[in-house]
Every structure is written in structure tokens, then in C-alpha cells.
Structure 1
Amino acid sequence: MSNQEKFSVVLPVYNEQDNLETLFAEIRRAADSTGRPWEAVFVDDCSTDRSLSIIRGLAERHAEVRYVAFAENRGQSAAFCAGFDAADSQVVVTMDSDLQNDPADIPKMLAAFGDECEMVIGWRAKRKDTLVKRLSSRIANAIRDWFTDDGVHDTGCSLKVMRADLLRRLPRFKNMHRYFPILMKMQGARIHEVKVNHRQRFSGVSKYGTLDRALAGIYDLIGVQWLIKRHIDYAVKEKK
């Protein structure tokens, strides 16, 4: 990967009006420090607060900002996919819009991405979530790893760097964003992990409950395990 190659930061948004201005300022500071061309692609998942109007304002003031606005709420995975489709680069950085991911980690993650791997995953070694959320996430990661064997410490960290062409080939389904590592590995991606900063949520509330997430996760795991076992792969020896 060229040190001058453009990258796209894809950001799903749902009711994050109090975080967006600060988030973009931090992204801009981190992205500009790389010396590379970049863009921020916000995907508004039909927010009911002022998120979309704030995103419109950012797009009017900053040439780097683009956005997609959903007509109805479709969920985080759909928002990520819309961002991948809209991204105008071959390098995609994903992160949440709640300020818990730290944009200052973007440069070192981009530095780890390139000829040796096609995916870099953030590892929140010191999480700033509640005890209940940390424990439930640890259990979920252990179960997910047992089912998928993706070999990743922190699948749930949204801060990732990935090749856009591989992302666009992934099977698309609800909650697929929780399985990006194994889905990317099925496309031949090599994965590297980087320890990243994790911050407390300063404004807004989490958009899901622990029980809801656990129940959905069990259902998803059954489907993902089926995909893994039925995955078709081949190598071409010769063709004309």
C-alpha cells in the first residue's frame, strides 16, 4: 500500500448529535497528520435527533465530508455496507460515532496495514465500559471465537482498517459487522491486531441492550458457522 493512498473513514450514525462536531475535529486532526488524502463518510441510520442536520453542516463546510442518509432505520451493519459502497478509496477505516473509539489511533493502524495484511483490527486492551458490558463482551468474544476460530482478541472493536474490494465481496446480513474478521479471512485476508485507546462515552446512550445483543448473537452464530462450513474456495492452476 502506498503511503500516499487515499483512505475513507466510514462512520455509522444513530442519534449522536452531541458527539459529531468533536468527532470530526478529532478525525481531521488524525487524518491530516498522515499526509495522505482522505474522506469521512457518515451514514445516518435515520436518526431522530439533529444528527443529520449536523452532518449536512459538516459536509457544507468541509470538502472531506460526504454522507448517506437512510430513509428508515436499518441497523449498524446496513450503515457500514452503505458506507463501503459510497467510499471513494481502496482503504476503509471503520469506527463508531460515540467517541469511545479514539481517532488518534488511525495513523498507527494505517501504518500497520499494507503488504503484510489486508485487515488491521483495534484491540481495546483497557476498556472503559461498565463491568456488565465488559463481562458480557468477554463471554461473547470467547463463544464467538469457539464457533468461528477467527483468532482475534477483540472482534467487537469497531476501529478497523480493511481493503475495500474484499469488504464489498462479503455476504451481507444483519449484525455482519460483528463477524468482519472471519468473513474477511474467508476472502483470504491476513489480519493484524493493534492495541488502541478506548474511552468512556461522554454523551448519549448505548443503542442496544445486553440481553438483546446476546440473543441476536446466538442466532447469528448459527448462520455464520453454516457460512464457514459451506464456504467455497479454489485456486486456479491454469486458464486460457
Structure 2
Amino acid sequence: MNKKEKFSVVLPVFNEQDNLEELFSQVKKAADSTGREWEAVFVDDCSTDGSLPIIRSLAGSHDEVRYVAFAENRGQSAAFCAGFDAAQSGIVVTMDADLQNDPADIPKMLDMLGDDCDMVIGWRAKRKDTFIKRVSSKLANSIRDAIVDDGVHDTGCSLKVMRTEMLLKLPRFKNMHRYFPILMLKIGAQIKEVKVNHRERSAGVSKYGTLDRALAGIYDLIGVRWLIDRHIDYAVKEKK
């Protein structure tokens, strides 16, 4: 792989007006340090605050910034998929827009991507979430591992580096972003993990509750288990 290959940072946004300018500043600092060509693709999920005007302003001031704005709120998975479709590079970096992921981790994750690796997953070894959020996450991970074991410590970490061509082959459904590792594994991806920094949210609020996320997660697990069991794969011996 070309060590200087261009990459796209895909950033789903829903009501993050107080974080966006600082987020882009940190992403730009990290991205510029790699010596690669890069772009930031913001996907506004029909925010009701001032997020979209800020994104427009960033796009007007920085050539690296592009954006997609949804007409209706469609959720984080849809926002990620729109970012993948819009990306103009062979590598996608995903992260949240709430500043809990640290853009400073991006360079080392990009360096790990190579001939023996198609996906690098951030592992929040020291999470800075509320107590109830950490406990509910551990419980959800235990249930997920029992039903869909992807061998990953922290599949819920949004900070990931992946090959665009593989992402575009994945089945698309609501909440699919929580299952990127197992979906990538099923199409032959080689995966690595790396410990990353995790920070407290300094502005804005979490966009989901514990109970509704747990109920949705159980429903999703049933569907993902079905996809895994019905997955089709084949190798071509010969063709004309």
C-alpha cells in the first residue's frame, strides 16, 4: 500500500454546534502531520441547532472540507454510509463529532493499515463515560460476544480506519455501525486493534438513552446473527 495514500475523515453530526470548530482544528492538526492528502466529510443528520451553518462556514474556509446535509434525521448508520458514498479516497477514518475520540490517534492508526490489515479499530481502554454508561456498555458487549463474537474488545468505539472499497460492500441497515468489525470479517477483512485516548464530553449531550439503546441492540443482534448464518462466500477456480 502507498504510505502516502489519501484518506477521508467521515464525521456524522447531530446537534454538535459547540464542538465542530474545535473538532476540525484537531482533525486538521492530526491529518496534516501525516504528510498525506486528506479530506473531512461532515454529514449533518438534520441538526436542529447551528451545526449546519458552522459546517458550511468550515467548507467555505477550508478546501479539505466537504459535507452532506440530510433532509430528515436518519441516524448515525445512515450518516456513516452517506460519508462512505461521498468519500473521494481509498481509506476512510470514522469518528464521533463529540470530541470524545481523539484525532491525535489517527496517524498511528493509518500507519497500521497495510497489506496485512484492512481495518484498524480503536480500543478505549480507559473510558471517560458516566458510570451507568460504562456498566451498560459492558453488559451489552457481553451479550453481543455471546451471540456475535467478533473477537474485538471495543466494537463500539467510533474511531476506526477502514478500506473504502470494503465498506461499500457491506449490507446496510439501521445501527450497522455497531457491527462494522463482524461485517468486515465476513467479507475477508484482516483486523487489528490499538488502544486509543478517550475523553470526557465537554459540550453537548449524548444522543441516546441506555434502555432504548439496549432494546434496539437486542433486536439488531438477532438480525446480524441471521446475516452471519446466511452469509454467502465463494472462490472462483476458473472462468472464461
Q: Which residue matches 1:155?
A: 155
Give 1:238 shift: 1.1
In structure 1, distance between residues paired with 2:128 and 2:10 = 23
Q: Which residue matches 2:238?
A: 238
Map 1:1-240 to 2 at 5 A.
1-240=1-240
How many equivalent pairs are there?
240
The 3-state SS of whatever aligns with 1:104 is: helix
After superposition, the C-alpha distances for 1:22-54 in whole angstroms (9 at most, x for unaligned) are 000000000000000000000000000000000
After superposition, the C-alpha distances for 1:188-211 in whole angstroms (9 at most, x for unaligned) are 101000100000000000000000
In structure 2, distance between residues paired with 1:52 and 1:202 = 20
The 3-state SS of whatever aligns with 1:74 is: coil
The 3-state SS of whatever aligns with 2:201 is: coil
After superposition, the C-alpha distances for 1:72-130 in whole angstroms (9 at most, x for unaligned) are 00000000000000000010000000000000000000011111110000000000001
Give 1:239 shift: 1.1
In structure 1, distance between residues paired with 2:193 and 2:170 = 20
In structure 1, distance between residues paired with 2:23 and 2:49 = 17
After superposition, the C-alpha distances for 1:135-163 in whole angstroms (9 at most, x for unaligned) are 11111112112211100000000000001
The 3-state SS of whatever aligns with 2:158 is: coil
Unaligned runs of 5+ in 2: none
Instruction: Using the aligned pairs only, state the percent identity.
Output: 79
In structure 2, distance between residues paired with 1:141 and 1:188 = 23
Give 1:226 shift: 0.2
Unaligned runs of 5+ in 1: none
Give the TM-score of the pair, scaled to structure 2. 0.99
In structure 1, distance between residues paired with 2:139 and 2:114 = 31
In structure 1, distance between residues paired with 2:94 and 2:114 = 16
The 3-state SS of whatever aligns with 1:12 is: strand
In structure 2, distance between residues paired with 1:150 and 1:184 = 10
In structure 2, distance between residues paired with 1:105 and 1:151 = 22
In structure 2, distance between residues paired with 1:141 and 1:42 = 28
The 3-state SS of whatever aligns with 2:100 is: coil
The 3-state SS of whatever aligns with 2:46 is: coil
In structure 2, distance between residues paired with 1:3 and 1:113 = 9
For residue 116 of structure 2, what is the amino acid of its counterpart?
E
